[in-house]
């Protein structure tokens, strides 16, 4: 199907990052050519760190304060205005409802004022499509090299693809038949992978947000002991990380003088082993030709490395976004919206769009 070039303003406020991005989707017969013209993320880390976690009411108030300047900056960096964009993409869910409402109602207001229709995007679809990140605009970085992933010539050779999404709220294995058809094969039955990283960080009294701190400390840790690998041998593709966190708690109680770096190393090794083993098992079952990794925990170096090595051994292509595209951002919402359009989605009037905190993929 053919499309004329379209410009999308994307908005993301599902948790604690206020983000806006402008992307251009160009006419392309098989694989969409997507250019990121701008991507702005205003983090609320400082605001929540004194509470040791995200406080929904505080997050929503910060989104209200930040959404206009963040959107203004995304538009001006891209050399666009509200009158030159074609669609407004916005994260509809899942996420914290007070946070989601700010983005969705802002998008609805823009839609009412400009007459531009809305593309409501599932936040997890944003993560899912983030490895297909497009060409960075020359406006943003005149010396940027074109991202080779945007030059996927033989896209059929990528599918079936097994996608592992690991974020603060979700852990999912999603087989993709092609760039349109996918379904969730397995997910966590309790804590998400990122949540486990954050809880282990709390046990070790590391600063918020914990995932990157655990990841950093693990690099200097030594593999002295092992934690269990929950559900690694289960017949399904589900995960459980709450038992692993409890194992860390008991180990700390019984061995209070263990170096935090060694605890982080052992915990990370266990989480990475379970995630990679189950992903590679799905690869075999679905005879996949490639693997993709996304979500905040995809910023973890050990996990990136483990999946990369596994894919090299099995001669599979491996896609993982740059680290700033792993944690929450609006560029990935624009990417998912671009693929939705490419796959025939008809954008909607503002009247029917609502935030949905429990939206499933
Ligand atoms: O995708 P994301 O930004 O937000 C959600 O949609 O949840 O993911 C945030 C999660 C947090 O739990 C954070 O601790 C974790 O990603 N994270 C990491 C790393 N960077 C962020 N976990 C492990 N290693 C990292 N380097
Ligand atoms: Zn996320």
What is the pLDDT at residue 143? Answer: 52
CB 24 within 8 A of CB 337: no
Residue 151 has pLDDT above 60, yes or no: no
What is the pLDDT at residue 185? Answer: 97
Confidence of residue 148 (pLDDT cuts 50, 70, 90): very low
Q: What is the pTM of this model?
A: 0.94
Residue 262 has pLDDT above 50, yes or no: yes
Question: Which of 43-47, 86-90, 300-304 is predicted with the least confidence, judged by mean pLDDT?
Answer: 43-47
Exposure letters 193-203 (e unless 16+ CB within 10 A, then b): bbbbbbbbbeb
Distances (CA, A) of 95 to 174, 195, 211, 228, 356: 19, 14, 19, 30, 8
Residue 161 has pLDDT above 70, yes or no: yes
Q: Residues 75-129: pLDDT tens digits? A: 999 999 999 999 999 999 999 999 999 999 999 999 999 999 999 999 999 999 9
What is the pLDDT at residue 314? Answer: 95
What is the average per-residue pLDDT within 323-351? 96
95 lines ligand 1 (CB under 6 A): no
Task: Ligand 1 pocket test: pick from 197, 199, 268, 320 the residue with the most ligand atoms within 8 Å of its Cβ.
Answer: 197
98 lines ligand 1 (CB under 6 A): no
Confidence of residue 200 (pLDDT cuts 50, 70, 90): very high
What is the average per-residue pLDDT within 232-245? 95
What is the pLDDT at residue 43? Answer: 92
């Amino acid at each position: 199907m053919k499309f004329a070039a379209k410009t999308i303003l994307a908005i993301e406020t599902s948790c604690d990052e206020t983000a806006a991005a402008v992307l251009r989707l160009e006419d392309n017969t098989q694989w969409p050519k997507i250019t990121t013209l701008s991507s702005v993320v205003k983090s609320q880390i400082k605001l929540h760190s004194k509470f040791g976690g995200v406080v929904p009411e505080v997050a929503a108030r910060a989104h209200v304060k930040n959404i206009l300047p963040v959107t203004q900056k995304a538009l001006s960096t891209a050399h666009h205005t509200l009158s030159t964009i074609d669609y407004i993409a916005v994260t509809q869910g899942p996420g914290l409802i007070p946070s989601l409402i700010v983005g969705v109602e802002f998008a609805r207001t823009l839609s009412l004022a400009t007459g531009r229709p809305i593309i409501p995007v599932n936040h997890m679809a944003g993560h899912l499509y983030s490895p297909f990140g497009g060409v960075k605009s020359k406006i943003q970085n005149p010396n940027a090299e074109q991202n080779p992933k945007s030059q996927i010539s033989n896209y059929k050779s990528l599918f079936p693809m097994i996608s592992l999404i690991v974020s603060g709220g979700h852990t999912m294995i999603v087989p993709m038949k092609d760039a349109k058809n996918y379904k969730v094969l397995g997910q966590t039955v309790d804590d998400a992978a990122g949540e486990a990283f954050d809880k282990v960080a709390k046990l070790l009294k590391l600063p918020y947000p914990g995932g990157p701190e655990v990841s950093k400390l693990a690099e200097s840790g030594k593999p002295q002991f092992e934690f269990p690998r929950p559900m690694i041998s289960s017949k399904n593709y589900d995960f459980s990380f709450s038992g692993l966190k409890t194992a860390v708690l008991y180990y700390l109680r019984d061995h209070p003088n263990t170096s935090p770096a060694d605890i982080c190393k052992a915990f990370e090794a266990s989480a990475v082993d379970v995630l990679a083993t189950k992903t590679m098992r799905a690869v075999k079952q679905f005879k996949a030709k490639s693997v993709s990794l996304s979500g905040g925990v995809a910023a973890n170096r050990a996990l990136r490395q483990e999946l990369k090595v596994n894919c090299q051994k099995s001669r599979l292509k491996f896609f993982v976004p740059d680290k700033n595209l792993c944690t929450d951002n609006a560029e990935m919402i624009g990417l998912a919206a671009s693929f939705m359009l490419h796959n025939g989605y008809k954008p909607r009037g503002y009247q029917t769009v609502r935030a949905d905190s429990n939206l499933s993929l």
